[in-house]
Amino acid sequence: MSSMQQMTCLSSSSPFLFLFHALIITFLTFTIISASYGGESETDHLALLDIKSWITDPHEALSSWNNSIHFCDWSGVTCGKRHKRVTYLRLSSKGLEGSLSPHVGNLSFLHGLSLINNTFQGSIPHELGRLSRLRFLDLGYNKFNGSIPTSISGCSNLEHIGLSYNELAGSIPKEISFLSKLTFLSLSNNKLRNGIPSFLGNITSMELFSVSGNPLGGSIPDTLRHWKNLKEIYCESCNLYGTIPNSLYNLSLLTNISLGDNQLSGSLPQDMCSMLPNLVLLQLWGNNLTGPLPPSISNCSRLRHLDVTDNKLSGKLTIDFAKLRDISVISLGDNIFGTKEDVELRFIDSLKNCTRLKRLSLYNCKFQGVLPTSIGNLSNQLNYLSLEENQLHGNIPKSVGNLVGLEMLSLKGNRFTGKIPSTIGNLQKLKVVHLSENQLSGSIPHAIGNLSMLISLNLGFNILEGYIPSSLGSFHHLLELYLNDNKLSGNIPTQLLQVSSLSIKLDLSRNNLFGSLPTEVEDLKMLSDLDLSDNNLSGSIPSSLGDCASLSRLSLKGNLFQGMIPPSLSSMKGLVELDISHNNLSGQIPPFLGRLGAYLNLSYNDFEGELPMLGVFGNARAFSIFGNSRLCGGLVELRLPKCNVMKKHKKKLPLFVTAILIASTLFIIICLAYAWCKKEKNLIASTLFTIICLAYAWCKKKNTSHPSHPSMSKQFIKVSYNQLLKATNGFSEANLIGNGGFSSVYKGTFGKGDGRLVAVKVLHLQNPIAQRSFTRECEAWRIVRHRNLLKIITSCSSVDFQGNDFKALVYEFMPNGSLHDWLHSVKSTWRLNLLQITNILTDVACALDYLHNHCIPTIVHGDLKPSNILLDEDMVAHVGDFGLAQLFGNSYQNSSIGITGTIGYVAPEYGLGSEMTNSGDVYSFGILILEVCQKDEFAMQNQEENEKMINECLASIVKIGVACSLDSPQQRMDIKKVVHELQHISDTLHNICYFKILCTFFHV
């Protein structure tokens, strides 16, 4: 009988006996596996299991880590062949989260540990110091925080340490200098401070040292001269200052030097490349270096990357680039190499032997003279060429058409004349062409239409003439097109308006274009900015323009448009700036324009009738209507004439109707007289009844034909306590979204199914101040109306089911919460970028400007702080909570509720008993700005070409905050000026963002 048959018999004859045998087999298997691990192997086994227990594994990368197989066969684990101990642990890019277990220190045979590109957090365990055999350690691209453990000195055999892109803080520990075998040390992009320590010079075996992206500060210590084996040094954006020590140039094995974006000064030694013959990469951009660029760079025959952009280097370029056959990047922009010689670009001739050259950046170098035809002899691998912002003149050489590898060509901001060479159409890979701000003439060559990969074309500010070629409609990737400030004429080609990829800007302004605006403009559904101003366009504004739903800015000013504003423009919900001034438009101004955002210009047309007062039209600073003599009404400060109330003239009845009425009246009189004479009471009664019915019908018709005029303002809906109770699910804790001293705010839903989301603010009436706060807030909301103020839906003053007084305010729900949540909530995973911060501050400033200068009566908010600034789905800011507001010019002006704001935001003069004023709100706004700007976690739009401008914008915002929060109320910045300054900063940041999008497309 076979064993299977025996098992079957045992199973059928005795289930318990079968179970007994199974337990014996399992026990024997476990015993064999345990015996195979051995005592010391079991230590590794348990350590690995503990490491797994500290990890969250959403992608099941560690699914094999179980007792079904030997741990040496687990994913990412490598063991020695003889002793079966863990020698290498590779868990890179597994999507792991959690912390690193201290039991990692029990893997005593470990030679290598790699956890690169996961989401480990917490501190690095000091137990790592037990791993005396460890040679390779890389924990980069995680979220480890705290300090670098000093116990790392126990890893005496370490050769490689990689801790880049974490959140490590403190300073570089001295104990690292005890690692005598260390050759690779990368600590980039952390938060390390206190300079590059001099004791690191003791690690004489060092070959790579990288600490870029740390705010280290200090100067480069001279002790680094002991690193005789050093090949690469990276310390970009480290806040270094002082000069580069001469001893650093004596490290002859150096191949890579990257010290960009610091504050280093001094000059470069003239024999630099004689001392550094192995140099491959030299990055010194963004410093304060002076003097000439050493001609000895010609001797760095291995050099591939040279970047000294944004320094103060000067003098004639005398480098013989012909010797640098491997060079791929030459970036010399933003220096002073110009010598006012016509042949100062002669060095370009020597670049023809640089067959691997991919990037040549010579912008803003003060070069003069002509661009030599030898520019066409450059490498066919060249993909980036920038000579913008120099003083070059003459024609653009036709030979530029030989650079078939070009993706970006920028010659803007020079003095080039003549025609755009048609050979430019040969550059099929071009994505960006900037030839603006020159003196180019002639027509736009049709060959430009061959550049099917273009995403940005800028030919503005020249003297180009002729028609816009229809071939420009062949672009399929174009994001922005600038043909502004030329002498172009003719119609706008319909093919151009059918380039549906246009999404950033189409600018045809300040030309001589004529004809109507084609209805095909509706195809620009993704376009954000359309400028057709200052041309000779005529006809009516096409209703199809309303299909451009993504437009945020539209300018049609300075044309010959006529007729009425088409109602279809009401569908352009995102429009924040509309300029249709200086045309021949007529008719009434439609009220829907009041829903627009920042600015509306309707000046110098022929509009008539009553000016709306809702939305934008409630803020005289937000729109312009000069030169429309037939308008009336509107805000008082506009000083328009009052609108005449048209008298209702009585309509004369037609002659035949009059005759019938007279005949009917006579007939009735005769009937009554006859009945009276004959004593016919029934006839008299019926006749009188008929007269009464006719009179009643006449009065009824008169009343219904002239109904009473409804209220100008939309009445608030009425809600009961019961409705609010249901809307908030019984004011449940789950719906609570905020708590304050006088109230609690709940999220609610009105209506069934996809009901309207609202925020219900319930007053704590047990606090005696809450009643006055409710009254004051209702009074404020009754008179204010502005896009940057929180919209109130209704209020409720009732009793609850226990008979207690109940008061609540119902607001429009803001899906993105408060500014306080974005700045301080630990739950928030997203960060505001600088542009969003600026837009939010601009919105708040506009709200204050409205309350202080355009609202009647003037209102002082009194409690401006981040928690009272709410953000809608488009991140537009709305100021709320008028519970402490002061209304000047009404009965509430002199009342007091005993509180004048929130500590930290309240103006100092309030503490001395001063009355609330506009300047108190300005002070609170200044503190708000400084609070926002000190949050160093907000996302910056980093791009090395624009970082200086970004920092200037940030500095300007901080200056506004300081100017608003001065102790003296009289010296604080005027809120009107604040709005103007913030809008200017916002425009600057918008331009930077557009540039960043372009850079992303061609990988600059």
Residues identified as active-site: 863
d(CA 670, CA 507): 83
- Non-local (6+) Cβ contacts of 393 within 8 A are 368, 369, 370, 414, 415, 416, 417
Cα dihedral across residues 809, 812, 815, 821: positive or negative: negative
- Cβ atoms 336, 312 nearer than 8 A: yes
What is the maximal distance between C-alpha atoms in the chain? 142
Cα of first residue to Cα of last residue in the chain, in angstroms, is 78
Residue 899 contacts by C-beta under 8 Å, 6 or more apart in sequence? 769, 884
Backbone phi, then psi, for 724, in 5-degree steps? -70, -35
Structure tokens at 231: 């090949």
Count of alpha carbons within 13 angstroms of residue 132, beta-carbon side: 0
Classified as helix, coil or strand, 525 is: coil
Pairwise CA distance, residues 910 & 920, whole Å: 8
User: Of 229, 244, 192, nearest to 213 (Cα)?
Assistant: 192
CA dihedral 505, 509, 513, 518 (to 10 degrees): 40
DSSP labels, 3-63: HHHHHHHHHHH-HHHHHHHHHHHHHHHHHHHHHHHHHHHHHHHHHHHHHHHTEE-TT-TTT
Q: Is 619 exposed, middle or buried (0-12, 13-18, 19+ CB in 10 A)?
A: buried
Q: 846, 979 in Cβ contact below 8 A?
A: yes
Task: Give CA–CA dist 189/176, Å, rounded.
Answer: 18
Question: CB of 534 within 8 A of CB of 561?
Answer: no
In Å, how far are 101, 386, 401 from 353, measured between CA atoms? 56, 19, 18
Q: Tell whether omega for the bond before 15 is within 30 degrees of 0, i.e. cis.
A: no
The radius of gyration computed from the CA coordinates of the chain, to the nearest angstrom, equals 39
d(CA 100, CA 116): 13
Residue 772: its H or E element: helix 768-783
Residue reference for tokens 């700045």: 823
Yes or no: say if 519 and 546 are a contact pair by the CB < 8 Å rule: no
